[in-house]
Amino acid sequence: MNKKLQVLNALDTAKTQWYHFTAIIIAGMGFFTDAYDLFCISLVTKLLGRIYYHVEGAAKPGSLPPNVSAAVNGVAFCGTLSGQLFFGWLGDKLGRKKVYGMTLMLMVICSIASGLSFGHDAKSVMATLCFFRFWLGFGIGGDYPLSATIMSEYANKKTRGAFIAAVFAMQGFGILAGGIFAIIVASAFRAKYDAPSYEVDPVASTVPQADYVWRIILMVGALPAALTYYWRMKMPETARYTALVAKNAKQAASDMSKVLQVEIEPEQQKIEQMAAAEKSGRGSFGLLSKEFLRRHGLHLLGTTSTWFLLDIAFYSQNLFQKDIFSAVGWIPPAKTMSALEEVFRIARAQTLIALFSTVPGYWFTVALIDRIGRFVIQMMGFFFMTVFMFALAIPYDHWSHKENRIGFVVMYSLTFFFANFGPNATTFVVPAEIFPARLRSTCHGISAASGKLGAIVGAFGFLYLAQNKDKAKADAGYPAGIGVKNSLIVLGVVNLLGMLCTLLVPESKGKSLEEMSGENDEESGGAGEEAEYNNSRTVPVS
């Protein structure tokens, strides 16, 4: 389109260069921190139960009561959901860069505060922990729409999918780092403060110093975020925001000339024409307008529903994998271990899963997303997650025998692999590509918040659903559930629904952001608008 701004054209056609990689690292370190902070809690919930909910004379170690466990595991997701909506909206109002620093500082402060949760009785420690984890989640929530939007607006047309997916793939390293760090801390404390197992001596099995272990693990999450703050503040605002939303052609051209190291003409006249078109009512539709509904309503339904369904399955698996490992005997019964040994074993199991399935899955997406497209990867991921969930669930009794446990863990790992080489990555990438610049961050925030709603359903729901059908065998304080087998069948059905909702999501491979959002047509006053809209709705078959 001849009306397209030179600065946007330069970004779309730019060769992959150093600034792309620095942008990936700067945005990616936020995601590294997000994953570390969100998932490290699952490494220490058993330890918190032993320290603060020990019952004198009980046959099993103390565990968090159902309401406390649900709050500790789920409160960060409630914060994340709120943060995604709020910062997503703010990113479109104030600009990506201004809001980016706020989210990072919130993450640093609340990571440290979570570890400093004060008080000696269980109630005060859990209350302050939940309070700070809510606000930690709020900061993490802002990172989702901002990181995705910044990366999509910085990237070139050819490798945009890989760049956005690479930012998201840092999540895998965050999960891995959490596990490795927990192994190191638990091993160091175990070497210094040796303790017997719970069945030998219930009180001595949890050494007083164990209280430092969970605090250290949570507080270290502040480090990577703090280290990238300076670099985030040095990044210029994205040219698409500056030109298309703030209407400052000179600033956009100046910023991108430095970044791309080429001379770019400001083209203020084109910007003024676009502003005039908006004033006359063309191309200025808002999120709640009929025009948005007509152009992007189905797209938003597609991105929100697929992310919602994916996260029910993904977070159920991730947060409670320790319970699944215990159910199949990969982690020994709690009473046969000391508190620190239990942290070590849970962290080791989570690290192995991350290393052999989670991390490779993310990078398969990075490598292939711009070759085979978002649609194919998402459809394939949901398909294989459905297959493996049913393969685990239907012959579940077979997997529970000791000699078949390794097979269970391999199958379980494959569901993680195809979540990440599949919808867990693509649901993050696509909303950053298909909406107009002035609504991009907001729409990504809405899609991501829908995902976190799914995570909350998964985190709270799976905790209760997976309990033993026999009330006497359920965890202390929990009602009888439907068992792990039936819970896995439910998750399989959820993945099947994800495949159907994927049909609503358009393919954005190889197209510029303005082509996908129809902003080219807005610039030219609507010529070819209908054709563009119909084109963006086309679902690929290959």
**Which residues, at least 6 apart from 356, have a Cβ–Cβ distance to it below 8 Å?**
413
| Predicted confidence (pLDDT) at residue 527 exceeds the cutoff of 50 | no
Query: What is the pLDDT confidence band of residue 534, given thresholds at 50, 70 and 90?
Result: very low
Write the burial class of residue 428 (CB in 10 Å: 0-12 exposed, 13-18 middle, 19+ buried).
buried
CA nearest neighbour of 353 among 282, 440, 300, 411: 411
Contact call for residues 485 and 393 (beta carbons, < 8 A): yes
CB 61 within 8 A of CB 49: yes
pTM score, whole prediction: 0.87
Cα–Cα separations (whole angstroms), residue 486 to 318, 370, 396, 490, 497: 18, 37, 9, 6, 17
Please count the other Cβ atoms lying within 10 Å of the Cβ belonging to residue 79. Answer: 25
Residue in this structure with the two tokens 């050819």, named with its chain if needed: 158
Local structure of residue 95 (DSSP, 8 states): -
Name 53's Cβ contacts closer than 8 Å, sequence gap at least 6: 62, 63, 64, 65, 68, 122
Pull the structure tokens for residue 460.
């709270």
Q: What is the mean pLDDT of residues 250-261?
A: 86
Q: Which one, of 481, 480, 538, 487, lies nearest residue 511 by Cα?
A: 538
Nearest to residue 129, comparing CAs of 217, 224, 32, 29? 217
Under DSSP, the state recorded for 434 is S
Neighbouring CB atoms inside 10 A of 225's CB total 28
Q: Which residue stretches of 394-542 are H helix?
A: 396-399, 405-420, 423-429, 437-465, 483-502, 513-517, 519-523, 529-537
Tell me if 282 sits within 8 A of 520, measured CB to CB.
no
Comparing 77-86, 273-282, 483-492, which segment has the lowest mean pLDDT? 273-282
Phi, psi of 380 (to 5 degrees): -65, -40
pLDDT band at 525 (very low <50, low <70, confident <90, very high): very low
| Ordered DSSP codes for 311-364 | HHHHHHHHHTHHHHHHHTTSS--GGGS-HHHHHHHHHHHHHHHIIIIIHHHHHH
Kindly tell me if the per-residue pLDDT of 358 is higher than 90. no
Q: Is the pLDDT of residue 345 over 60?
A: yes
CB 463 within 8 A of CB 45: no
Highest mean pLDDT (candidates 218-222, 269-273, 510-514): 218-222
**Rounded-to-integer distance, Cα 30 and Cα 35, Å:** 9
Instruction: For residues 430 and 375, give the distance between their C-alpha atoms in angstroms, rounded to a whole number.
Output: 9
Find out whether 321 and 345 touch, Cβ atoms under 8 Å. no
| pLDDT value for 88 | 96
How many angstroms separate the CA atoms of 387 and 200, rounded?
Answer: 43
The whole-number average pLDDT for the span 429-437 is 94
Residue 383 binned pLDDT confidence (cut-offs 50, 70, 90): very high
CB 441, CB 298: distance < 8 Å = no
Q: How many residues does the chain have?
A: 542
Q: Please tell me the distance from the alpha carbon of residue 248 to that of residue 275, in angstroms, as a whole number.
A: 11
Cβ contact 30:168 at 8 Å: no
Tens digit of pLDDT for each residue in 292-330? 899 899 999 999 999 999 999 887 876 556 656 766 667
pLDDT (0 to 100) of residue 282? 59
The residue type of 71 is: A
- For the residues of 198-234, what is the DSSP string, one character each? TTT-TTTTS-TTHHHHHHHHHHTTHHHHHHHHHHHHH
Residue 18: pLDDT above 90? no
| pLDDT value of position 503 | 96
Q: For 160-176, give one letter per residue: b (16+ CB within 10 A) or e.
A: bbbbbbbbbbbbbbbbb
Maximum C-alpha span of the chain: 80
Distance in angstroms (rounded) separating the CA atoms of residues 453 and 442 = 16
Structure tokens at 13: 């056609």
Question: What are the φ/ψ torsions at residue 467 (nearest 5 degrees)?
Answer: -65, 155
CA 348 to mean position of chain CA atoms = 22
User: What pLDDT band is residue 538 in, cutting at 50, 70 and 90?
Assistant: very low
The CATH H-level (homologous superfamily) assignment of domain 13-271+286-511 is MFS general substrate transporter like domains (1.20.1250.20)
Task: Flag the least confident range among 239-253, 320-334, 379-393.
Answer: 320-334
Beta carbons within 10 angstroms of residue 55's beta carbon: 12
For residues 68-85, give the mean pLDDT: 90
Closest CA to 540 of 494, 502, 514, 501: 502
The mean predicted confidence, pLDDT, of the chain is 86
Residues 44, 69 contacting (CB under 8 angstroms)? no
